[in-house]
Chains A and B, each alone.
Chain A
């Protein structure tokens, strides 16, 4: 992947845009795996399957979650760096979603 502003890691994963709070796993990741994005190092804390996302910073409950340089939803609980980010801890802000 060489899209503009994207940063890659030795474990294949990707932060799509600078400032994104999540990265994309391009291979299955397990607890303990180390991912690196330049100077940013993220230790994976639980399994993250291919195509799924993990936090590259601590995200507080109620905080917007950023991917593609834009808001993809809001955290429904505190999310620790390295954790799997999905429907169990983020929610859409649209169509009246609570």
Chain B
């Protein structure tokens, strides 16, 4: 990669590669306000969901984590938080200010109703959008970036081409001082022994086995047959037969370097190199969690294709399946199908991924960004 990387240095001394003005709802019934603000002010990024009342335990923790940490992502320039009543809004703003010096504004819908909140919120969003438009790109280094790694719509081409090609890119990122987080605990089942061998020390190896076992036990406690759940029907149609087969292919996206640690759900990486994050496996949930963990960009290897994206971090779709390039080409950023015809090596395909990443870091739009695939799924159920 010869081109220089650029980004926006924010008040938290972190490099964003985008300047999102996030308009974030705290409750399901603030969605209307957020959507109308987004209609009125061009260039805001709405973040809405169906939750925010009466969650308890792990659900409450995960929801609060996603709502706060998504706003802390370096790609978010500033935040307008929209809540129903003052207490939750005050608590959110206090939690945000505790960790970030970025600009945050707020609107409380119960003050004077939805119409007034739309008016007030639009004015505040307008101010933030004008400010964000003044941000300028400056040089950044690979070591300023955290990459998310995800595979979705997997088929057997994922395991032989797109995951290994992303793995080549991951090795490059790590060699140049960067960080990468891969995830989806169900999809290390059957491949734990390989990851454990790559662990930086015995306690990381032990934790890899432990999170995989906990996930497997959870599946068993539901009496779930993983066939049809994971692999899902489109994986099976694509030729994947078992979770072990899927996992042995999936882990290849994490390259060959040491596994530096196992992170909790949405926990930021404490250092450089490759980390594994314990999480559910549904694409929209993993992408949300990776962005919440601070990933500025996500590499997404796909076999049968998948249009999914996420709101604050561009998602780079890589496929080696020529049929997917033909049928779902609108959603593909990097076509490496030449690997399967024998016309390119995995190393060449990995280089193509790195070149695409460089352009996207520097501002080129991904397909998910251009097509408004800005999914935000803060409260995942399932495995």
Main secondary structure of the interface of A (DSSP, over half): loop
With A51-B239, A72-B241 already in contact, the answer to whether A92 and B160 are too (CB < 8 A) is no
Question: Which of B156, B226, B345 is close to A52, meaning CB atoms less than 8 Å apart?
Answer: B156
The reply to whether the CB of A14 lies closer than 8 angstroms to some CB of chain B is yes
Residue ID in chain A nearest B304 by CB atoms: A51
B224-249 vs A, CB cutoff 8 Å, 1 = contact: the mask equals 11110000000010110111110011
Q: How many interface contacts (CB-CB < 8 Å) are there between A and B?
A: 105
* Interface size range on A against B: 20 to 34
Is the Cβ of B345 less than 8 Å from the Cβ of A53? no
A93 to B28, CA, bound (A): 41
The reply to whether the CB of A40 lies closer than 8 angstroms to some CB of chain B is no
A51 to B158, CA, bound (A): 10
With A95-B224, A97-B225 already in contact, the answer to whether A73 and B241 are too (CB < 8 A) is yes
Q: Chain B: how many interface residues by the 8 Å CB criterion?
A: 37
| B5 CB to nearest A CB, Å | 29
Residue ID in chain A nearest B245 by CB atoms: A72
| A93 CB to nearest B CB, Å | 7
With A1-B161, A53-B156 already in contact, the answer to whether A70 and B224 are too (CB < 8 A) is no
Residue ID in chain A nearest B158 by CB atoms: A51
| A87 CB to nearest B CB, Å | 5
Is the Cβ of B345 less than 8 Å from the Cβ of A2? yes
Question: Which of B191, B323, B342 is close to A70, meaning CB atoms less than 8 Å apart?
Answer: B191
Is the Cβ of B244 less than 8 Å from the Cβ of A70? yes
In the bound complex, residues from chain A placing their C-beta under 8 Å from that of B160 are 1, 3, 14, 16, 24
Binding site for B on A (CB under 8 A): 1-3, 8, 12, 14, 16, 24-26, 49-53, 67-68, 70-73, 85-87, 90-97
Provide 22 A-B residue pairs closer than 8 Å at the C-beta atoms, listed in order of the A residue: A1-B160, A1-B346, A2-B342, A12-B340, A12-B341, A51-B303, A53-B241, A68-B245, A68-B248, A70-B194, A71-B244, A72-B241, A72-B242, A87-B242, A92-B227, A92-B243, A94-B189, A94-B242, A94-B243, A95-B220, A95-B243, A97-B242
> Could you list 19 further interchain pairs (A-B, Cβ under 8 angstroms) beyond the known A51-B303, A73-B242?
A2-B342, A16-B160, A49-B239, A52-B156, A67-B245, A68-B159, A70-B194, A71-B190, A71-B244, A86-B236, A87-B241, A87-B242, A91-B242, A92-B244, A94-B190, A94-B216, A95-B219, A95-B224, A97-B226
